[in-house]
Amino acid sequence: MTDASMQSPETGRHAASLTATDARTIKRAKAEKRFRTYGIVAIATGLFFLVVLFASILSQGIPAFQRTVVSVDFTLTEQQREEAESTLFKTKAYSDLFIAALNKELTERGVEVDFDDAAIERLLGKVGGTIRTFYAENPDQLGQPIEFDLAASSRVDGYFKGRVSRDTLQDSRFLQLSDLDLVDALKEAGIIKQGFNWPFITGADSGVDNPGGAGIGASVVGSFFMMMVVLVLSLPIGVAASIYLEEFAPQNKFTDLIEVNISNLAAVPSIVFGILGLAVFIQFMHLPQSAPLVGGLVLTLMTLPTIIISTRASLKAVPPSIRDAALGVGASKMQAVFHHVLPLAAPGILTGTIIGLAQALGETAPLLLIGMVGFVARGYPDGFLAGFTEPNSAMPAQIYTWAARADVGFYEKAWGGIIILLMFLLTMNIIAIILRRRFERRW
């Protein structure tokens, strides 16, 4: 034993001098260096993918915020309007009137390219609805020239954005090569131009033949109402449950079981909540289909465990001395919790809630089964309460629907929708960070 500890300096592990590092230390230093390199590589890989993701989202999504419009003065007479209103397919009648007017205008201006009504129709998107809505809202404008900015067709839009080129275009009933000469001439004349795509921000979904009219606004409102339901239900229920479990509940097998199941619930795939929502809320409780109310209820179930877990964590983080002090001066247990512990835990609770909401905002799977994914183009709700019950979509559901459509114009819109969804998520997460930074206390 003593032999081992008293090895001679020349042969033992303590042989190193203070100035020269021995092999073992070098090895350890190298191991540390390697580990740091691994870390940096891991972070760099993560960053690389983040950059690729953002670059592809931005490069594919930015064009959605631009649109190509046909901008022209148009006059509709009272009589023309009555005639159009008397047909079954009213919007088509309006669109025909507009095409005739445009044709006349182009002839007067002396555009040097051959064109006919059919060619103009191929250049235009579905414009009848826009015109009809305008005159329904402003009947006093009849008989006066109004400057309309109407969406060009998807392929003309693609021509401006570089999606469609003369080399790859094949003549079809959607667009012909000769039409592009007309487009160029109209661009020269300032009739066809590009502008910011406000309808994309404010509009509702549109039919598959009308990518120019599609907007994400209505589904943003749908998401908003869902989040209202989630917030109003899951925050009080979640906080009450965690206060009871953390502060009042006895420690026994039963509460252990509840705790385990809350953790389990947090890991349940979201589609399961969708099935539950269909069975309970729609088929049993007879709540309306496709309604943000039901979507919100389903997402509440999904968000509750997140909120309970984060609330309990932040309640635990409040030092016992606070409780002891409150109880010591004669406060009841409930007073101690609500006057002292809860306010101190509030920043953590709010952070957890916002992160839970952000997670719910991006969820599509549970909405599939309750009718919020599909063609839901009802537009804005008629009032605040109607917002909960009228059919509406949600942002991620809308993006999913667009991505599945045949026209490339919708694919671009899907990427644009992702940008808007990400902006909402980022805003929510930044609010969570600010709240934490501003109100969190450290002991």
Partner 1 sequence: MSFVKLSASALAIAAVSATAAAARDNVQVAGSSTVLPYASIVAELFGENTDFPTPVVESGGSSAGLKRFCEGVGENTIDVANASRAIREKEIKACAENGVTDIMEVRIGYDGIVFASQQTGPAFNAFEPSDIFNALGAKVLKDGEVVDNPYNTWAEFNPDLPDVEIAGFIPGTKHGTREVFEEKVLLIGCEATGAMQAMIDGGMSEDDAEDACLAVRTDGKSVDIDGDYTETLARIDTNPNGIGVFGLAFYENNTDKLKVGTMSGVAPSTETISTGEYPVSRPLFFYVKKAHIGVIPGLKEYAQFFTADEIAGPSGPLANYGLVADPELAKTQEAINNEVTMGSGS
Binding-site ranges for partner 1 (CB under 8 A): 87-92, 128-129, 132-133, 164, 168-170, 172-174, 206-210, 229, 232-233, 235-237, 239-240, 282-283, 285-291, 293, 297, 338, 371, 373-379, 385-386, 388-389, 391, 403-408
Shortest Å distance, C-beta 21 to partner 1: 53
CB-based contact 71:193 (threshold 8 Å): yes
Decide: helix, strand or coil at residue 356: helix
In this structure, which long-range contacts are made by residues 172-181, counting pairs with CB atoms below 8 Å and at least 24 apart in sequence?
173/122, 174/122, 175/122, 175/123, 176/119, 176/122, 178/114, 178/119, 179/119, 179/122, 179/123, 181/113
CB closer to partner 1, 105 vs 121: 121
CB closer to partner 1, 26 vs 334: 334
Q: Compute the residue count for the chain.
A: 443
> Which two three-digit tokens encode residue 399?
């993006």
DSSP structure class, residue 191: S
CB closer to partner 1, 164 vs 344: 164
Q: Which residues on neighbouring strands pair with residue 193, listed in sequence order? A: 69
Shortest Å distance, C-beta 229 to partner 1: 8
Interatomic CA distance for residues 93 and 410, integer angstroms = 26
CB closer to partner 1, 51 vs 285: 285
CB closer to partner 1, 3 vs 82: 82
Shortest Å distance, C-beta 437 to partner 1: 24
CB closer to partner 1, 273 vs 411: 411
State the DSSP string of 41-90. HHHHHHHHHHHHHHHHHHHHHGGGGEEEEEEEEE---HHHHHHHHTSSSH
CB closer to partner 1, 220 vs 372: 372
Which amino acid belongs to residue 102?
L
Shortest Å distance, C-beta 371 to partner 1: 6
DSSP structure class, residue 167: T
Shortest Å distance, C-beta 87 to partner 1: 8
Half-sphere exposure of 68 (CA within 13 A, CB side): 24
The helix or strand, by DSSP H or E, that contains position 387, with its residue range, turns out to be helix 386-389
Interatomic CA distance for residues 250 and 257, integer angstroms = 12
Nearest to 336 by CA among 317, 323, 318: 323
CB closer to partner 1, 282 vs 318: 282
Nearest to 75 by CA among 142, 6, 158, 167: 142
Shortest Å distance, C-beta 443 to partner 1: 25
Shortest Å distance, C-beta 60 to partner 1: 14
Shortest Å distance, C-beta 407 to partner 1: 5
